[in-house]
Amino acid sequence: MFRRNKILVKKKTYVKKFRQERYKNKVMTKINFTVNNNNHQVEVEDSLRLIDVLRDHLGLTGTKEGCGVGECGACTVIMDGAAICSCLVLAGQLNGTQIETIENIEKDQVLSKLQQLFLEHGAVQCGFCTPGMLMSTKALLDVNPHPSEDEVKEALEGNLCRCTGYIPILNAIKAAAQ
């Protein structure tokens, strides 16, 4: 028993030292930014991506990670009014920015009109692409409430969906744009 305790203490000390070493080598950055109209100050590794800061540091797990390399659009959020891939933005670029995530779309547990229309038109199946689709759509409708079909297609060209065949998504957005 005594021996086991000794080993445990050794192990804990080793882990603590290992963590301290890792922490020492990290470049940390302080970010002061706004997420969903709330100010946040966090200190994180500057090599972290926006999606990591949102999910792991702010608990906003509605933003999904698909490819991690800017190809699928699953991680789309709105940054300073534009739809961007949160897997491509580094923490060091976030100071002073305004971010909007999928968590800001629903209000008081009531779905937004856009979310409701996605449901009504069968534009949500597995749902993995949906937060990104909604954020790209919102970024478009915020500046252009009545887009043409071509404008919708252009705005969503970076968002992939493996389930719906896109037509239900287009129909939902057309209904929202009427």
Question: Considering the rule CB under 6 A, would residue 65 count as an interface residue with ligand FES?
Answer: yes
What is the pattern of x (binds ligand FES, CB under 6 A) and - over residues 70-89? Answer: xxxxxx---------x-x--
Question: Considering the rule CB under 6 A, would residue 131 count as an interface residue with ligand FES?
Answer: no
CA angle 110, 54, 123 (to 5 degrees): 45
Do β-strands 28-35 and 98-100 pair in parallel, antiparallel, or remain unpaired?
Answer: parallel
Q: Name residue 89's amino acid.
A: V
Pick from 58, 163, 170, 175 the residue near ligand FES by CB under 6 A. Answer: 163
Length of the chain: 178
CB of 84 to ligand FES, least distance (A): 9
Pick from 44, 77, 128, 138 the residue near ligand FES by CB under 6 A. Answer: 128
How far is residue 93's CA from residue 99's CA, in Å, rounded to a whole number? 12
Question: Considering the rule CB under 6 A, would residue 52 count as an interface residue with ligand FES?
Answer: no
Pick from 161, 172, 173, 177 the residue near ligand FES by CB under 6 A. Answer: 161
CB of 6 to ligand FES, least distance (A): 46
Question: Considering the rule CB under 6 A, would residue 54 count as an interface residue with ligand FES?
Answer: no
- Burial (CB count within 10 angstroms: exposed 0-12, middle 13-18, buried 19+), residue 133: buried
Nearer to ligand FES, 68 or 92 (CB): 68
Nearer to ligand FES, 77 or 140 (CB): 77
Q: Starting at the edge strand that comes first in sequence, how are the strands of the sheet with 38-45 ordered?
A: 38-45, 28-35, 98-100, 76-79, 82-85
CA 11 to chain centre: 37
Residue with tokens 């021996």: 3
Q: Which residues bind ligand FES (CB under 6 A)?
A: 65-68, 70-75, 85, 87, 124-129, 161-164
